[in-house]
Amino acid sequence: MEFPVLYCIIGAVVVLGLLFLWSAIKIVAEYQRLVVFRLGRCVGAKGPGIVILIPFVDRAIRVDL
């Protein structure tokens, strides 16, 4: 009886981890940049390419050049 509950908990943790990772990765085109705000303060422009952000802490605004 304990094993199905344990598998459900492990499955939920894996799904939440994948959602966390999915929200952290942004892909920026060559002609764009991301202006990153960390807790409301600007930390700079990032990109082009793959940019990794801290979910729920960083906010990114996409800017065309």
**What residue ranges in 1-65 does DSSP mark as E strands?**
25-28, 32-38, 41-46, 49-52, 58-64
Q: What pLDDT shows up at residue 6?
A: 86
How many structural domains is the chain composed of? 1
Q: What is the pLDDT of residue 2?
A: 67
Residue 1 pLDDT > 80, yes or no? no
Both tokens of 43, joined, read 């930390």
Domain that holds residue 58: 2-64
Q: Please report the pLDDT score of residue 15 as a whole number.
A: 96
* Tens of pLDDT, residues 3-61: 788 899 999 999 999 999 999 999 999 999 999 999 999 999 998 999 999 999 999 99
The answer for residues whose C-beta is within 8 angstroms of residue 62's C-beta and 6 or more apart is 28, 32, 33, 34
